[in-house]
């Protein structure tokens, strides 16, 4: 029975992998063309990077290959440095991903602000969509060296008079079909139908429209051999120039892959979650192998991963089968791929771009997000479109961090608890009675995180009561950084020097070693450290009641 179930699961994964492989073929071709690379490089990426990532990564479900998210970055590299630079930047990105694995940064990558992810994803989608206009309409005479979004649109608009009727009609028909087809689930993927039917139309009806063969030549029909020619084709100085792009590709690949893994875990409803750090290793190895085998940088693809799960995929076998399917079909039927019209590939990418831009989600955020968050979202989108994705990620994270710090400064890190105003009700009756009997005690509750953003507030509040015995309750203080330690040390040192009394109580285990190493515990002395606030208050009040001995921690 167990063997029968195991066989059934193997069959399901093989079928799911074959389905995803068929889906990946037209997308891989279209994405390679969008980058400015030969179509075969996209297929090699899906085959070799996909197999390595599935075998070595931290997610059982992720399907890896060329993705739309990387297109603007890769297209920038090709445009500025040439196609020979793309393998080099892929190798560097792979090394960086492996370094991120060694540093165990998998969990940290998931803390990328959500608005930044939505913003640059939407910007990428719009950039890809508008970037397909020349191929979709067969615009003639445009300058392929133009890089920036606005300049490309202006250049396209200037050459619209060169557009005929056949190519736009075919491209718009492909878009309309894809939009209608994806409204309901189908066993046959829409992009596959589009490339097959459009290629047949071009061949049988002899349509006058640019095709893959007319632009790039026929597909090779032999198994690719590993090559390290790029190592000598790119000089040392150019390796340095490519480093910022490699960093951006590695970060984006990590974010996309881990986001895909989270989505996959939720879709599969499994208790076994992905290993974030190992997923970085798998993506790093995939990006080392892909350029050597003629591919481009890769990352996990959320849409293909979801398709594999819906088709019944439950293990790494799905991803490996997907890679094998792409390679087998490429070698067996690659000669037919030259007939695919470029406008059909552009139509596929326009629909993909609309889907990844997630316009309904962006509009919901525009209507409901706080104004500050809205600035991060729209700013990230604008920088992605009109400047550079690398800058967009950095700017989005920086602005999000600034907004977070600004909000943290509005949350009090120290609160005075005043007995005469009846603010001690959350405390024990005994402590309340002591504080009401001895109003000269300045009782403060330190809370949250005391850092550079709140150290000034701490100093202002405590120095205002420097002539009174000071009781600091640290039950709610979870972390204090060097700025907070310096400030607290100065306050305690001043009190002790002036003959004042200071007591610390209920110090959390995470904070106590910091106070000890900084010397603050030596300043207050063993008699100034207590486990309970009641005992500390009694000691500061002069010991009028019997009290427990202070802690020796």
* Alpha carbon separation from 236 to 232, 240, 242, 243, 407 (Å, rounded): 9, 7, 10, 11, 45
Query: How does 209-228 read in b/e, with b if 16+ C-beta sit within 10 Å?
Result: bebbbeebeebeeeebeeee
CA–CA separation, 339 and 217 (whole Å): 10
Residue-level pLDDT at 549: 42
Q: Please state the rounded mean pLDDT for residues 40-49.
A: 95
Query: Considering only CA atoms, which of 30, 432, 88 is closest in space to residue 238?
Result: 88
Q: What is the pLDDT of residues 78-94, one digit of tens each?
A: 988 888 899 999 999 99
230 against 195, higher pLDDT: 195
Residue-level pLDDT at 105: 86
What are the residues whose beta carbons fall under 8 Å from the beta carbon of 226, sequence distance 6 or more? 292, 293
Q: What percent of the chain has pLDDT over 70?
A: 90
Query: Considering only CA atoms, which of 495, 549, 506, 502 is closest in space to residue 525?
Result: 502
CA–CA separation, 388 and 136 (whole Å): 24
**Which CATH number is 414-540's, of 3.40.50.150, 3.40.1280.10, 3.30.750.24, 3.40.50.970?**
3.30.750.24
Per-residue pLDDT for 362 more than 60?
yes
Confidence of residue 416 (pLDDT cuts 50, 70, 90): low
Instruction: Report the SS3 class of residue 4.
Output: helix
Query: Considering only CA atoms, which of 87, 42, 77, 90 is closest in space to residue 216?
Result: 42
Per-residue pLDDT for 5 more than 70?
no
Instruction: Report the SS3 class of residue 458.
Output: helix
Residue-level pLDDT at 97: 97
Per-residue pLDDT for 397 more than 80?
no
Confidence of residue 542 (pLDDT cuts 50, 70, 90): confident
Q: Please state the rounded mean pLDDT for residues 324-337.
A: 85
484 against 422, higher pLDDT: 484
> Using an 8 Å Cβ cutoff, are 270 and 59 in contact?
no
357 against 304, higher pLDDT: 304
* Alpha carbon separation from 280 to 48, 68, 96, 199 (Å, rounded): 17, 19, 9, 38
Exposed / middle / buried, residue 334 (Cβ in 10 Å: 0-12, 13-18, 19+): middle
Q: What is the mean pLDDT of the chain?
A: 84
CA–CA separation, 171 and 179 (whole Å): 12
Per-residue pLDDT for 238 more than 90?
no
Query: Considering only CA atoms, which of 254, 248, 256 is closest in space to residue 391?
Result: 248
Q: Please state the rounded mean pLDDT for residues 114-141.
A: 83
Confidence of residue 424 (pLDDT cuts 50, 70, 90): very low
- Tokens 């996909």, located at residue: 50
Confidence of residue 548 (pLDDT cuts 50, 70, 90): very low
Q: What is the pLDDT of residues 277-313, one digit of tens each?
A: 999 999 999 999 999 999 999 999 988 998 889 888 8
Confidence of residue 419 (pLDDT cuts 50, 70, 90): very low
Instruction: Report the SS3 class of residue 142.
Output: coil
CA–CA separation, 83 and 200 (whole Å): 30
Residue 24: Cβ within 10 Å count: 34
Confidence of residue 458 (pLDDT cuts 50, 70, 90): confident
Residue-level pLDDT at 218: 78
Beta bridge mates, 65:
299
Q: Please state the rounded mean pLDDT for residues 475-482.
A: 86
Beta bridge mates, 416:
444
112: left (phi over 0), alpha (psi -120 to 50) or beta: beta
Per-residue pLDDT for 55 more than 90?
yes
Residue 101: Cβ within 10 Å count: 22
Query: Considering only CA atoms, which of 81, 79, 91, 73 is closest in space to residue 237?
Result: 81
Residue-level pLDDT at 546: 38
Q: Is the dihedral of CA 535, 540, 545, 550 positive or negative?
A: positive
Residue 122: Cβ within 10 Å count: 24
420 against 37, higher pLDDT: 37
* Alpha carbon separation from 347 to 119, 175, 275, 407, 498 (Å, rounded): 23, 5, 36, 44, 78
Q: Please state the rounded mean pLDDT for residues 259-264.
A: 87
> Using an 8 Å Cβ cutoff, are 284 and 101 in contact?
yes
CA–CA separation, 158 and 160 (whole Å): 6
Per-residue pLDDT for 343 more than 70?
yes
CA–CA separation, 322 and 174 (whole Å): 25
Confidence of residue 2 (pLDDT cuts 50, 70, 90): very low
Residue-level pLDDT at 387: 77
Residue-level pLDDT at 422: 42
Residue-level pLDDT at 3: 42
Residue 55: Cβ within 10 Å count: 15
- Residues constituting the chain: 553
CA–CA separation, 330 and 59 (whole Å): 26
Q: Which of 101-105, 455-459, 503-507, 533-537 is the least confident region?
A: 455-459
Tokens of 129: 């969509």
Tokens of 273: 């979650």
Q: Where are the domains of the chain?
A: 2-403, 414-540
Residue-level pLDDT at 390: 65
Residue-level pLDDT at 408: 64
Q: Is the pTM of this model over 0.95?
A: no
- Tokens 């006058």, located at residue: 208
Tokens of 348: 């596929």
Q: What is the pLDDT of residues 161-177, one digit of tens each?
A: 998 899 999 999 999 99
């Amino acid at each position: 029975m167990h063997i029968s179930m195991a066989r059934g699961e193997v069959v399901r994964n093989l079928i799911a992998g074959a389905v995803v492989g068929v889906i990946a073929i037209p997308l891989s071709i279209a994405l390679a063309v969008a980058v400015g690379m030969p179509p075969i490089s996209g297929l090699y990426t899906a085959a070799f990077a996909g197999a390595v990532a599935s075998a070595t990564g931290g997610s059982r479900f992720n399907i890896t290959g060329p993705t739309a998210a990387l297109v603007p970055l890769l297209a920038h590299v090709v445009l500025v440095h040439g196609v020979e630079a793309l393998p080099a930047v892929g190798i560097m990105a792979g090394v960086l991903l492996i370094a991120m694995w060694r540093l165990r940064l998998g969990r940290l990558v998931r803390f990328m602000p959500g608005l930044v992810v939505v913003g640059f994803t939407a910007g990428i989608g719009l950039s890809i969509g508008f970037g397909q206009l020349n191929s979709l309409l067969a615009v003639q005479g445009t300058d392929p060296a133009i890089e920036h979004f606005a300049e490309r649109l202006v250049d396209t608009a200037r050459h619209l008079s060169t557009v005929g009727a056949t190519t736009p009609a075919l491209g718009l028909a492909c878009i309309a079909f894809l939009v209608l087809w994806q409204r309901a689930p189908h066993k046959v993927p829409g992009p596959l139908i589009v490339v097959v039917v459009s290629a047949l139309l071009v061949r049988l009806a002899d349509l006058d429209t640019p095709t893959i063969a007319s632009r790039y030549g026929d597909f090779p029909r032999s198994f690719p051999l590993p090559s390290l020619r790029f190592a000598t084709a790119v000089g040392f100085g150019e390796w340095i120039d490519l480093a910022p792009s490699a960093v951006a590709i590695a970060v984006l690949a990590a974010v996309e892959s881990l986001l895909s893994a989270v989505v996959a875990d939720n879709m599969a409803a499994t208790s076994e979650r992905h290993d974030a750090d190992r997923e970085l290793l798998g993506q790093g190895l995939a990006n080392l192998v892909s350029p050597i085998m003629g591919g481009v940088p890769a990352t996990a693809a959320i849409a293909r991963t979801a398709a594999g799960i819906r088709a019944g995929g439950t293990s790494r076998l799905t991803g490996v089968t997907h890679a094998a399917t792409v390679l087998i079909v490429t070698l067996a039927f690659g000669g037919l791929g030259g007939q695919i019209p470029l406008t059909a590939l552009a139509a596929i990418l326009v629909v993909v771009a609309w889907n990844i831009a997630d316009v309904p989600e962006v509009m919901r955020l525009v209507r409901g997000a706080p104004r500050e968050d809205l600035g991060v979202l729209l700013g990230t989108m604008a920088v992605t479109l009109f400047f550079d994705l690398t800058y967009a990620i950095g700017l989005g994270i920086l602005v999000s961090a600034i907004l977070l710090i600004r909000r943290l400064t509005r949350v009090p890190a120290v609160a005075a608890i005043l007995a005469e105003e009846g603010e001690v009700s959350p405390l024990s009756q005994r402590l309340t009675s002591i504080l009401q009997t001895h109003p000269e005690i300045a009782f403060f509750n330190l809370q949250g995180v005391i850092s550079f953003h709140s150290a000034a507030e701490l100093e202002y509040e405590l120095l205002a009561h420097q002539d009174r015995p000071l009781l600091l309750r640290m039950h709610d203080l979870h972390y204090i950084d060097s700025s907070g330690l310096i400030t607290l040390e100065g306050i305690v040192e001043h009190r002790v020097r002036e003959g004042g009394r200071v007591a610390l109580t209920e110090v959390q285990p995470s904070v106590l070693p910091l106070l000890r190493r900084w010397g603050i515990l030596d300043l207050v002395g063993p008699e100034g450290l207590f486990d309970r606030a009641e005992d500390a208050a009694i000691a500061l009040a002069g010991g009028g009641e019997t009290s427990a001995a202070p802690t020796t921690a």
